Amino acid sequence: MDKLIIQGGNRLHGEVLISGAKNAALPILCAALLAETPLHLTSVPALKDVGSTIKLLEKMGVKVNRDGDKVSLDASIIHSKEAPYEMVKTMRASILVLGPLLSRFGQARVSLPGGCAIGSRPVDLHIKGLQAMGAEIHIEHGYIEATTAHLPNKRLQGARYYMDLVTVTGTENLMMAATLAQGTTVLENAAKEPEVVDMAECLIKMGAKISGAGTDVITIIGVERLNGAAHNVVCDRIEAGTYMVAVAMTGGEVKLLNVQPKLLDAVIEKLRDAGATVSCETDSITVKSDGQLKAVNIRTAPHPAFPTDMQAQFMALNTIAKGMSKVTETIFENRFMHVQEMQRLGADIDIEGNTALVKGVAFLDGATVMATDLRASASLVLAGLVARGETVIERIYHLDRGYENLEQKLNALGANVKRVT
């Protein structure tokens, strides 16, 4: 299994190109299932999760052409409407095929995702939303079996549905399902994440009638069919945020290219509070820091508040910042797995319920640590970049799920990160 070996202490300087967003690319790849003609995507990041999604779609019969960051998908004919356990268990986002399959083909069989490292993460809201649109759904042998055979014209029926929790992939699944439903669907308490908006923009290009994406009420007027289109995936705000925290921690000056600063408001504000200088242009952000940071309190919440996917990275920042901070996680119940590993590097952190109390220390010391989930792994890389001596990060396959060319990008900025197989 691959490991990363980091020699800490180097400042970061230069420019880094931010990739397309994993969390936009995955739902948009699944949206290809809705189209009767090919969908052409650009800025699709080269990530393990993207590869897994493409494999799943190919298994269903979608013809996929991939050339660098360009992916074309032709779902004019498919022969399977099933997402098997072996694929869903490695990537929860596979649940995103449920809405499109049911809506276009009237039938879907998708494995329940099961638990994952950061909590139980049920999909009950995806299921209830589809039931509100008239779908008949049974859970059998660990699979969600869904059909529209009993409905008028065998089509999902537009409905008003209130989600009692804000769910990103839930909103995306139901939005995709509603595009081909009969009548109008109104999704209330919808997720406002930029990736939801990007998917809506792609669906609109495909012929869908959607308004309100980016607000908490999304209205979808069902249409008879959708076609392919050309779409460029939005930038990865979490990848961008991770590099911004890296520079703030190590000190130096880095310009991030291909970013939309407005998607990172909450993160930029916290970095400025911590003492970094952040300047924004239309599609770039420059972060400058002397590495002397102040501790900042963090509370995660749905967009536009502070993203849970940046919580672990700011925890890393706080471990070496001056003062005490509170980091509160409100989205997932078990997202402090990085704490124990950071303690191995000398961090001073106590956990009380869903809050971590972090007391900044003068320095971290390199050690061997284990990556547990995607963003926890990123936070350990950040800690390794400033720790004294060598940090070895084991089980880094999580990083390959979400960060394109991580070590190449960091090394080009002056870091010393080696991958050992």
Q: Which is nearer to ligand UD1, 38 or 194 (CB)?
A: 194
Give the shortest CB-172-to-ligand UD1 separation in angstroms. Answer: 7
What is the C-alpha separation between 325 and 338, in angstroms, rounded? Answer: 16
Please report whether residue 309 would count as binding ligand UD1 according to CB under 6 A. Answer: yes
Among 87, 101, 168, 417, which residue sits at the site for ligand UD1 (rule: CB under 6 A)?
Answer: 168
**Stretch touching ligand UD1 by CB under 6 A, among 38-46, 143-151, 165-173, 412-420:** 165-173
Q: How many residues bind ligand UD1 (CB under 6 A)?
A: 21
3-state helix/strand/coil string of 330-386:
CCCCCCCHHHHHHHHCCCEEEEECCEEEEECCCCCECCEEECCCHHHHHHHHHHHHH
Q: Which is nearer to ligand UD1, 59 or 92 (CB)?
A: 92
Please report whether residue 148 would count as binding ligand UD1 according to CB under 6 A. Answer: no
User: Which residues, 63 to 92, sit near ligand UD1 by CB under 6 A?
Assistant: 92
Please report whether residue 167 would count as binding ligand UD1 according to CB under 6 A. Answer: yes
3-state helix/strand/coil string of 11-61:
CEEEEEECCECHHHHHHHHHHHHHECCCEEEECCCCCHHHHHHHHHHHHHC
What's the chain's length in residues? 421
Among 289, 308, 372, 377, which residue sits at the site for ligand UD1 (rule: CB under 6 A)?
Answer: 308
Give the shortest CB-189-to-ligand UD1 separation in angstroms. Answer: 11
What is the C-alpha separation between 145 and 368, in angstroms, rounded? Answer: 44
Neighbours of 333 (CB within 10 A): 13
**Stretch touching ligand UD1 by CB under 6 A, among 130-138, 167-175, 208-216, 312-320:** 167-175
Residues 100 and 177 sit within 8 Å (Cβ to Cβ): yes
**Stretch touching ligand UD1 by CB under 6 A, among 68-76, 162-170, 263-271, 392-400:** 162-170
Q: Provide the sign of the torsion angle of the four alpha carbons 133, 139, 142, 148, taken in this order.
A: negative
Please report whether residue 52 would count as binding ligand UD1 according to CB under 6 A. Answer: no
| Residues annotated catalytic, as ranges | 116
Please report whether residue 26 would count as binding ligand UD1 according to CB under 6 A. Answer: yes
Please report whether residue 147 would count as binding ligand UD1 according to CB under 6 A. Answer: no
CA 395 vs CA 126, 127, 419: distances in Å: 31, 33, 11
Among 53, 169, 318, 325, which residue sits at the site for ligand UD1 (rule: CB under 6 A)?
Answer: 169
Please report whether residue 170 would count as binding ligand UD1 according to CB under 6 A. Answer: yes
Q: By C-alpha distance, which of 285, 281, 312 is closest to 378? A: 312
Give the shortest CB-166-to-ligand UD1 separation in angstroms. Answer: 6
Q: Which is nearer to ligand UD1, 243 or 332 (CB)?
A: 332
Answer left, alpha or beta for residue 289, where phi above 0 means left and psi between -120 and 50 means alpha.
beta
Residues 370 and 328 sit within 8 Å (Cβ to Cβ): no
Among 220, 287, 331, 399, which residue sits at the site for ligand UD1 (rule: CB under 6 A)?
Answer: 331
Q: Which is nearer to ligand UD1, 54 or 387 (CB)?
A: 54
* Residues found near ligand UD1 in the complex (CB under 6 A): 23, 26, 92-93, 119, 121-126, 165, 167-170, 195, 308-309, 331-332
